[in-house]
Chains A and B, each alone.
Chain A
Amino acid sequence: MTAAFILICSLGFLLMFFVSYCRSLLATSSAEALSQEVRDVTGIVTTVAPEDFARVMQLLHLCPDRPEERGRIRTVSAYYGFLGVMRATIAAASPSLKSWADRERAQCGYFAAVVLGRRIAFSRDLLAQQMMP
């Protein structure tokens, strides 16, 4: 009985903390503006669309990996996946929940674009170091 109660409460708390934690990760990148270069590469003109995340992630995998970002990218990818499942299931019955999920998915896309910008700058620095005599 106690274990069942603990299980139900834990799963509820897990959902709440996971969403808040992922939003705190997204918030750290939301203050950074996207460079023109990233906009050109990704085709993002004004705002990031909810579906842009997967495309930006594909571009991200083409750039040299930075180990310090791996954990955050994985967490945000999991969050994006969770939002996708939620959008397709529970949110289908609630328009406000659906639009919230879309806003969050767009934030994930923005996060990925910011990371892409950092990776492009990192690659350019690497190249510049190699070109130096």
Chain B
Amino acid sequence: MLGPIQYVIWFLCTLLEAIVVVCAIRGKVFRRYIFLNIYMTAEVVASMVRFDILHRYGFQSSTYAYFYYYSDALLTILLFFALSSLYSDVFGELNAERYVQLGAVLLLAGTALFSFAVVQQSSSKLLTHFVFEISQNLYFVGLVLTYILWAAILKLRETRTRLIQLVLSLGVYFSLYAANYALRNLYPSVSSLFEWLNPLIGCFLPAAWSYAFWRLPEDARLAPAGLAVAQR
């Protein structure tokens, strides 16, 4: 059963996700960052449906558990496409959009196949474990892709402050989630301890993105070389 604090975090997270979309519409950048906004809208919808299922069937029900993990896998795939749209943005001037999209689809298919191969060897609950495995692996692939994108931003001397903050916050979010999933996989006996971290981590991305859409003007610029941990 969820406690009042968990409900508050959940509500806050959903509110922040809605704020991202509102800020993007207000700042007239909804279409420019369409995949990011589709992802945030899907998060809000999934959150509302989850709440409805929780209310009807209860936290311990298999319906809630199935919906939670399946919707999480779908949302991760959507976030994966949001990331590929950021790639298109950074590589836009090189006319490499088609290659980026093709690469994203191939990587997604490869991750799904790898997850299926891992699960097939080790689990009797094939589909359920597959959904969990693909989420964990996609978070990690997303994390590696975000790192490559960050390296490309540094290399191409991309200066758009908003784009830089969107990418960096996505990197923090992916790393937190990937680490959390890995911990739950490594220590299944104490997975409930890490489970309550999920909604807290989930608040970070919408908070960072709403700040980026709300407070940073599209024409704001900064030198990305000064942000790298190892100075260039």
Q: Which residues of A contact B (CB under 8 A)?
A: 2-4, 6-7, 9-11, 13-21, 23-25, 27-28, 68, 71-72
A17 to B185, CA, bound (A): 23
Chain B residues engaging chain A, CB cutoff 8 angstroms: 118, 136, 140, 143-144, 146-147, 150, 161, 164-165, 168-169, 171-172, 174-176, 178-179, 181-183, 185-186, 207-208, 211, 214-216, 220, 222-223, 226-229
- Do A6 and B227 have beta carbons less than 8 Å apart? no
User: CB < 8 Å: which of A4, A7, A10, A17 contacts B168?
Assistant: A17
How far, in angstroms, from A23 to B222 measured CA to CA in the complex? 11
The contact sample of 27 A-B pairs, CB cut-off 8 A, is A3-B182, A4-B186, A6-B140, A6-B179, A6-B181, A6-B182, A11-B179, A13-B143, A13-B147, A13-B178, A14-B175, A14-B176, A16-B229, A17-B171, A17-B172, A20-B227, A20-B229, A21-B168, A24-B161, A24-B165, A24-B222, A24-B227, A27-B222, A28-B222, A71-B207, A71-B208, A71-B211
- How far does the alpha carbon of A9 sit from the alpha carbon of B186 in the complex, in Å? 14
**A4, A18, A20: the one within 8 Å of B228 (CB):** A20
CB distance A4 to B182 under 8 Å? yes
Cβ of A17 and Cβ of B150 under 8 Å apart? yes
Instruction: Add 20 more A-B contacts to A2-B118, A24-B168, A27-B222 (CB < 8 A).
Output: A3-B181, A3-B185, A3-B186, A11-B175, A13-B143, A13-B147, A14-B172, A17-B147, A17-B168, A17-B171, A19-B229, A20-B171, A20-B228, A20-B229, A21-B169, A21-B171, A23-B226, A23-B227, A24-B165, A27-B223
Report A38 CB to chain B, min CB distance, Å.
Answer: 20
A-B contact number at CB 8 A: 94
Q: What separation, in Å, do the CA atoms of A5 and B112 have in the docked complex?
A: 18
Contacts of A9 in B (CB 8 A): 140, 143-144, 178
A66 to B85, CA, bound (A): 33
Q: Which residue of B lies closest to A71 (CB)?
A: B207
Q: Which residues of B contact A15 (CB under 8 A)?
A: 229
Q: Is the CB of A7 within 8 A of B186?
A: yes
Residue of B whose beta carbon sits closest to that of A17: B171
Partner of B171, one of A13, A23, A27, A68: A13
